[in-house]
Amino acid sequence: MATNPMHQFNVYRIGPEVKIAGIDISFTNSSLFMLLSAGAICIFLLLGTREKKLIPGKIQLVAEMFYNFIAKMISDTAGSKAKPYFPFIFSLFMFVLFCNMVGMFPYSFTVTSHIIVTLIMAMFIFVAVTIIGFIKHGFKYLKIFVPSGVPVLLLPLITVIEIISYLSRPVSLSVRLFANMMAGHTMLKVFGGFVISLGLLGGWLPLSFSVALTGLEILVAFLQAYVFAILTCIYLNDALNLHH
């Protein structure tokens, strides 16, 4: 049981079973770690903004760094029109980052290693961006499927290709985050299992791999949160500034 590398992804119920209209909405370990991540973000940001000093303390400095990082990312990729969406993108980035980072603790659960979680976030972004596009541009938004300067003969084919390209956005967004987190955590567990099975004599090699992989996984955890947020900005940019 403990040597099964996929065992860490089990979702199990904590507390009583709750069912509403046939849908199981019981509290699970996944929900627990989502709450933990959200709570950690709240505590971190509350501590960071409690004393607004001119010369920031350690936590305030880190909180301001995150703020600047996201603000710069949004203005670089989506321009000044995207400023009202800063709270959403900031919370999204922080949530994905903290879920990934909380998952790096031994015996914890990685919320983002389940495709249902990442797919729901990606679908929400996809639907929201599409609605924003239609609100801002009306039916002119459909022009993103019809690039200008294409011969009439090729137009139906190009339009189908553009529609598939547009529909692939939530898939690539969710699969990237889920696959990276799941593959990384499985790999860590597999190397951990090698340490146990090779024992004191041969276990040192997989142990050193494990140490290196832990560092890599922390990098991946940050990068995936970054990629998730920056792609949201890029999609938002396409919806806000129509240029096809």
Partner 1 sequence: MGNFDDFKTRLKIAKSNLKKTDNDTSKEASFLGNAFKLGTELVAAVAVGTIIGFILDSWLGTTPWLIVIFFFVGAAAGMLNVIRTAKRMQK
Contact residue for partner 1 among 161, 183, 205, 212 (CB under 8 A) = 161
What's the min distance (Å) between Cβ of 16 and partner 1?
Answer: 38
Size of the site for partner 1 (CB under 8 A): 26
What's the min distance (Å) between Cβ of 161 and partner 1?
Answer: 5
Q: Is 168 in the site for partner 1 (CB under 8 A)?
A: yes
Angle at 73 between CA 70 and CA 78, to 5 degrees: 120
Residue 6 CA to residue 18 CA, distance in Å, equals 26
Is residue 129 within 8 A of residue 236, CB to CB? The reply is: yes
Please state the φ and ψ torsions of residue 20, each to the nearest 5 degrees. Answer: -125, 120
Q: Is 137 in the site for partner 1 (CB under 8 A)?
A: no
Contact residue for partner 1 among 7, 72, 143, 244 (CB under 8 A) = 72
What's the min distance (Å) between Cβ of 24 and partner 1?
Answer: 27
Q: 3-class secondary structure for 156-220?
A: HHHHHHHHHHHHHHHHHHHHHHHHHHHHHHHHHHHHHHHHHHHHHHHCHHHHHHHHHHHHHHHHH
What's the min distance (Å) between Cβ of 43 and partner 1?
Answer: 25
Residue 244 CA to residue 233 CA, distance in Å, equals 18
Return the DSSP state at 28: B
Considering only the stretches 9-17, 18-26, 65-73, 132-140, report the one whose residues sit in contact with partner 1 under the rule CB under 8 A: 65-73
Q: Is 241 in the site for partner 1 (CB under 8 A)?
A: no
Q: Name the residues that contact partner 1, by CB under 8 A.
A: 69, 72-73, 157, 160-162, 164-165, 167-169, 171-172, 175-176, 179-180, 219, 223-224, 226-227, 230-231, 234
